[in-house]
Amino acid sequence: MIIACPACATRYVVPDSAIGIDGRTVRCAKCRHSWFQSGPDIELPAAPAPVPPAPAVVADDSPMPPPAAPRAAEPAPPPAAAPIDPPPVTAAAPREPVAAPFYDDDESAYSGSTFAHEPPFRPRRNPLKLYTLGAAAFAVIALTAIGAVAWYGLPDWAPLARQTFAGPQPDLALDFPHNRMDRRTLPNGTEFFGISGKVTNVGTQRRTVPTIRIVLRDKQNRIVYQFDVAPPKRQLAPGESVTINEARTDVPRTADAVEYGWMPG
C-alpha cells in the first residue's frame, strides 16, 4: 500500500503486513512526524449464489425404450492454426517512489536513512573547467611578474639579476683614491657625498671611455644608492687622462661603503 505523511506529504510504499488490518502508529523518516495509519481496505468475497433444488423424480411404470446403438465416431478435422500475433507493447507503468520505511515511536527501532533526510548528491566537478581557471590565474600572475621586472628590474637576490658593473675595459685604468672621497652632513641636515678620480689610457691606441657607475652599500652589503657619471671626454689618446668629479646630496644615511666601475653596456 502507498501512504503519505500528513506533515511533509512524502509518499512511501510499504507492505500491507507492516501496517496490519487494525492499523498502527508510524513515523515519517524525513520529518519525524508520527500519526496513526489505518489498515488497508480488504474486500470481502461475494456470497455464493443459491443452488436451485433438483427436480423431483416421478416413477414411470412404462417400459423404457431400448438404448440406441452408438454411432461410430467420425474423426474431427484438425483445427486450423490460429495466426500468432505479437504480444501487445505496453508502456511500463511508472514506479512509485520508494523511500525509507516507517518505524514505531520506539527510538531504539529507528535506524534512519541516509537518503531520506539528506540533500541530493552534489554534481561532479568539471576537470576541464578547473584546468581553464588554473591556466587563467597562472597567466595573470606571470604577466604581473613580467611587468614588475620590466618596470623595476630584478632584485639583487635574484639569480638572474642585472649586472652591477661591466668587465674591465682594455687599456683604460680607473682610479678613485679613498682620500678623494668626501662624506659629511651639511648644516641643513642633508647628507653630502663627493668623489674624485681619473681615467687614464695606458695603451698604445685611442680608446673610448664608457660611463662610470658609483654604488653605495650599507653594512649588510645591500645597494642603497647608485648613480652613473658620464666622463667629460669620451675619447682618450694613448697616455691621456681625464678627471672625474661628482657629488650627490640625496644619499641615504645607511650608506657605509663605496664601489665604482664601468656601467654595463
Q: What is the pLDDT of residues 110-146, one digit of tens each?
A: 444 444 444 555 556 788 888 898 999 999 999 998 8
- Residues 190 and 135 both lie in one domain: no
pLDDT number for residue 1: 79
- Residues 149 and 176 both lie in one domain: no
Q: How many helices (H) and strands (E) does the chain have?
A: 2, 13
Beta strands 207-208 and 24-27, pairing class:
unpaired
Domain for residue 46, yes or no? Answer: no
CA–CA separation, 259 and 165 (whole Å): 10
CA–CA separation, 248 and 237 (whole Å): 30
pLDDT number for residue 147: 81
SS3 per residue for 165-202: CCCCCCCEEEECCHHHCEEEECCCCCEEEEEEEEEEEC
CA–CA separation, 216 and 195 (whole Å): 12
pLDDT number for residue 247: 92
pLDDT number for residue 54: 59
Range(s) of the domain holding residue 139: 123-153
- Residues 222 and 191 both lie in one domain: yes
Alpha carbon 262 to chain centroid, angstroms: 52
- Residues 137 and 183 both lie in one domain: no
Q: What is the pTM of this model?
A: 0.41
Q: How many domains does the chain have?
A: 3
The domain that holds 232 is classified in CATH as 2.60.40.10
- Residues 129 and 184 both lie in one domain: no
- Residues 115 and 140 both lie in one domain: no
H or E element: which one contains 128? helix 127-152
Residue 19, helix vs strand vs coil: helix
Domain for residue 30, yes or no? Answer: yes
- Residues 113 and 129 both lie in one domain: no
pLDDT number for residue 218: 92
215 in Cβ contact with 259 (< 8 Å): yes
Domain for residue 149, yes or no? Answer: yes
- Residues 202 and 229 both lie in one domain: yes
pLDDT number for residue 35: 84
CA–CA separation, 264 and 143 (whole Å): 27
pLDDT number for residue 78: 58
